């Protein structure tokens, strides 16, 4: 079952520009070959904006390509309001799947599926910039259809919630029960609060501090 950004974020959803243009065409118009080459050579992956199938695919392609190039560390910069949980799962699992170490840099905000991606790295490899905000909460799926379908969808949301809570518990060192309590509603954290909570290992202000 796919959960959309609207399902997960409700009124917190980022404004989107609507027009008749193909989203893939829009994405291509912002692709600069020189910039792409520079990012590849520096082993840097940007995950910015709503998490969806397109972002999951391009991020996975870049991770696999860099992993094939060498075992040197990869830096992933994340700033996202969230999006499709399954797309977030794909990136989360791919970070763990490849051989090179992935260093996460949080910037702007890492919310919902964005936070799921962020915690895929080992804790010591998770840093953020000073003004980054984090949001954890339980998934909220739009449920409809027949009575049987509603029951099935509700059970799937419960399974997803339990799975995500365990991921965040493992990643932060918080107890499963504490995660359940905190994510029952939107749980916002500043960079310092996220560090205290176990989401972030260090707050950095300069690239020289990345290590």
- The pair of three-digit structure tokens given for residue 185, joined into one six-digit string: 């509603």
Q: Which of 79, 80, 87, 112 is catalytic?
A: 112
What span, in angstroms and rounded, lies between the C-alpha atoms of 166 and 37?
37
Q: Which of 79, 137, 175, 208 is catalytic?
A: 137
Phi, psi of 145 (to 5 degrees): 105, -160
Of the candidates 150, 98, 130, 147, which has an alpha carbon nearest to the alpha carbon of residue 194? 130
What span, in angstroms and rounded, lies between the C-alpha atoms of 180 and 175?
9
137 a catalytic residue = yes
What span, in angstroms and rounded, lies between the C-alpha atoms of 165 and 159?
10
| Integer CA distances (angstroms), 108 to 70, 114, 118, 190, in order | 29, 11, 12, 11
112 a catalytic residue = yes
Q: Quote the Cα angle for 43-45-47, to 5°.
A: 170
Number of Cβ atoms within 10 Å of the Cβ of 50: 20
How does strand 126-128 pair with strand 202-203? Answer: parallel
Residues annotated catalytic, as ranges: 112, 137
């Amino acid at each position: 079952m796919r959960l959309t950004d609207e399902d997960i974020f409700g009124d917190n959803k980022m404004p989107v520009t609507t027009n008749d243009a193909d989203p893939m065409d829009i994405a291509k118009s912002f692709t600069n070959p020189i910039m792409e080459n520079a990012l590849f050579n520096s082993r840097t992956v940007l995950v910015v904006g709503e998490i969806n199938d397109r972002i999951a695919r391009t991020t996975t392609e870049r991770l696999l390509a860099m992993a094939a190039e060498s075992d040197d560390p990869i830096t992933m910069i994340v700033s996202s309001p969230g999006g499709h949980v399954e797309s977030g799962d794909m990136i989360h699992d791919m970070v763990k799947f490849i051989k090179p170490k992935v260093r996460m840099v949080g910037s702007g905000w890492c919310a919902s599926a964005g936070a799921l991606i962020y915690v895929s790295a080992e804790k010591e490899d998770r840093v953020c910039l000073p003004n980054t905000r984090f949001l954890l909460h339980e998934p909220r799926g739009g449920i409809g259809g027949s009575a049987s379908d509603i029951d099935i969808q509700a059970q799937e949301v419960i399974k997803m919630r339990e799975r995500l809570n365990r991921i965040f518990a493992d990643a932060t060192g918080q107890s499963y029960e504490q995660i359940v309590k905190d994510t029952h509603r939107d749980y916002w954290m500043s960079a310092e609060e996220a560090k205290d909570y176990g989401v972030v290992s260090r707050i950095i202000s300069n690239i020289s501090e990345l290590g």
